[in-house]
Each structure stands twice: as structure tokens, then as C-alpha cells.
Amino acid sequence: MRVLAAAEFKRQMQQVSTSESRPDVVTAVQRIVASVRERGDAAVREWTKTLDGVDRAVAKVERKEIDRAWDRLPAELKKALQLSAAHLERYQRSLKPKRVATAVAPGLRLTTEWVPLRRIGAYAPGGRAAYPSTVLMTCIPARVAGVDEVYLASPPGPQGLPSPLVLAAAHLAKVDAVYAIGGAQALAAFAYGTATVPRVDKVVGPGNVYVAEAKRQLQGVVGTDAIAGPSELAIWADPKTDPELVVVDLLAQAEHDPEARALVVTTDTAYARRLATLADERVQSAQRKGVLETSLVRDGLIVVAASEKDVPDLLDAAAPEHVELLGAGATRIADQLRSAGTIFEGPLASASLGDYATGADHVLPTNRTARWSSPLSVYDFLRQRVRQRVDRQGLAKAGPAAIAIAEAEGLPNHANAVRRRLGP
């Protein structure tokens, strides 16, 4: 890990772009999306064979395979997933907004209602690992919102099916159908629809750079959640924080991907160097050593702040996916943060716990998009429907103002539409 001064770190963060895509990825995804749009299932089958080495005539997974995966799951893991699902559902139900009616003036009444989407497509990554937790995190909030049809896509393994863990989670989340499709072709199939795959209103879920680029290119064709990138963790640790605790959390988050990002903010240079040495040592004996040597040893950063009062500003500059406040003043610092996907307060709270079992969603904004994006939640599967009621008193109150503004904007027919209702 590298040790940086605060000023240099902030300079580097100002140069980070949240919108750049690799040209080769853009071109590849354009080809995939265009072919799926034009040729549907045939293109999906070809890309699955080319990219995943699997030739499936039909992408849809039979219901018996989904149910069998759940039945074969070890009892202990079943209980763990059920607990995770229960916590997640309880929290999401607490977030679900209520109908709001407001009398803005006598005779003018506005009502906001929250209407669930009809169909959504969730994506659960495959490849390096299987993520049953992501199935729960994407599909259960949709169910809580009241979405009519919830579909899931996940890459096929060597046997032609998504991971049994993913299928088991789909059973638990009451997914309507699962499709053995990965990457950009999965999102394109959901966006345009094929003879086999239904067209949906919105696609959600994390993925690799190709999935992220597909979301960019399909915006406007289909709704999307935040464009999530590699995982990120930022930790506040004062010199009294147990360095072993800091390092074990760094290892946990950095093992996701070689492009995962790990950051520590502290106030003591000697402590920073001690952390860097310890982290590098622990990587040598860790599982997933190859991933960690890139994400943590080569790219991990430790930033030395001038004082504790500078910590919130430095963390906000990173706008990370996860923030762990392991050092002193956790609550005070949390109160000041404005740009973080999710915040863990105190030494007992860890990003790993939040990834699986606290009830919060782990589909979070990355790559500094936490400056404006939020965690996936029930809100992503609802849209506002606004109803407006106007009686004579309300028309008399608002009508003249509407006429004056319409005429000022050079839209006389707008003014006449209101004037006709006001009468002589």
C-alpha cells in the first residue's frame, strides 16, 4: 500500500472521471447490443457460446432446476439466507413511502401516489464467484415495492446453468423466471425483449465493465439503476485503532476484484506505514493472493490527514461505496459525510456484515457516483404518480397566474386553455 499526503490525494480525486469507458469495451458492447436488438435469441445464444463457452438452445432455466437447487442447499446456508432475506425485507418495508395528499391552496389539491413498476430484470454476476446475496438484494426490494414480474439473469457455468447458489436464492426471493445469460447480452435481452426473454421496464444489479457499459448504452431504452463499478472501501482509523482489524477489513473488500479500491484515512504517518507493512505481509499468506496483490498492495492507499477534523472532507473527496469508521468520533464523522454509499459506525460494524446480513442493500454507488446516487432500495422499483384536483376556487386562485406566465413565455394557446375555463 502507498502512503499519501492529504493534499496529493485530493488532487488525484479531482482528476477521477466517473463517466469514462474504455474504447474497446464501448465497441464490444455496441456490437452485442445491436445484435441482440436485431436478432434476439439467436444473438443471445451466439454470445453465450462465444463468451461463456456454453451452447444453450433456450436461455430460460426450468423451474425444477431452481427448486432443486434450494432443496439441495445445506440447512445452515438455508438459514443464513433466510435470515438475510428477512432482515432485508423488514428494512425495505420500513422505507416504502406512503400516499401524500396536500392542499396547496383552497381548491387546489395535489396527491402523490407511489406506483410499482410492472416488470424488472435483475442481474447477478458470475465468473470469479457466485453471488446469491445479490439475488436477494435486487429481487426482494422489487417484491416489497409490489413489482408484478421479477426476472433474473446470471451467467451459465460449465453445465449450462447459473450457479446453484444463485438458483437457490432465486427460489427464496420468489423470482418469476431465471435466464442463463451473462454480461451485456443479458441486459440487452431485458431491454429489447426476445421471443424467450421478456422486455422489462428497468434493469438493476452490479456487474463487470461490460455490464456497466451496457447500462450506459441502454439508458433511454430501459430504466437502469446506478452504474456500479468495482467495489470500494474507505476506513477511518486513528492511531489507537487495532491495525489487525483494519487490515482484515481491507483484505475482505479488496478480494472482490483486481480493480477493487481500498483506502485508509488516518492522522499519523508512523501508524500509516505500520498499516502498509502489515497489509503487504498479510496478503502474502491470504487466499486470493493474486487479486489482493493488485487491488491492495499495488493500488491501496493510506492518506495521512493533518487532523481529525479533516477526515470527513477526505472521505467525501473519495465518495466511496463503503465507509468504515473504526476510529474515534465515528458518529460525529458520520453526521458530516455527504458522499458515501453506506457508512458503518464503530469497530463492531463491518462492510462484510453489511454485505450479507444487516438488512441494508449491498448494491451501492461506486466510482465516486455516491456524490449523487443512492443505494438500491424499494424506491428504485416505484414511480410517483401525481394527481391534481382543481375546483372553482382553486381555478380562480391559480388561473390568472398561469395566464400571465404562459403569455410571458410566448405560448398564447396555453393561456387560452386556462382563460376558457375561467369564463367571462
Helices (H), 285-327: 289-292, 311-318
DSSP state of 259: T
Here the cell at position 329 is 468520533
Question: β-pairing, 232-236 with 177-179?
Answer: unpaired
With beta carbons less than 8 A apart as the criterion, state whether 145 and 163 touch.
no
Number of helices (H), then strands (E), belonging to the chain: the values are 17, 14
Q: Which positions are annotated as active-site residues?
A: 321-322
| CA separation, residue 222 to residues 67, 225, 253, 262, 276 (Å) | 30, 10, 31, 32, 44
What's the order of all strands across the beta sheet hosting 108-116?
100-105, 108-116, 382-390
Please identify which residue in the block is written with the cell numbers 463491518. 350
Question: Residue 142 and residue 378: Cα distance in Å, rounded?
Answer: 6
CA distance 67 to 117: 26
Q: Which residues have a Cβ under 8 Å from the Cβ of 239 and sit 6 or more positions away?
A: 266, 267, 268, 270, 271
CA dihedral 122, 70, 375, 317 (to 10 degrees): -110
Can you state the percent helix, strand and coil of the chain, rounding each to 5? 50, 15, 35
* C-alpha cell belonging to residue 236: 477511518
Q: Which residue has the cell 469495451?
A: 25
> Beta strand pairing status for 232-236 and 261-266?
parallel
Q: Where are the alpha helices (DSSP H) in 267-391?
A: 269-284, 289-292, 311-318, 330-336, 351-356
Residue 85 CB contacts under 8 Å (≥ 6 apart), including other chains: 136, 140, 172, 173
CA–CA distance, 18 with 254 (Å, rounded to integer): 20
Residue 160: all three cell numbers together: 449450462
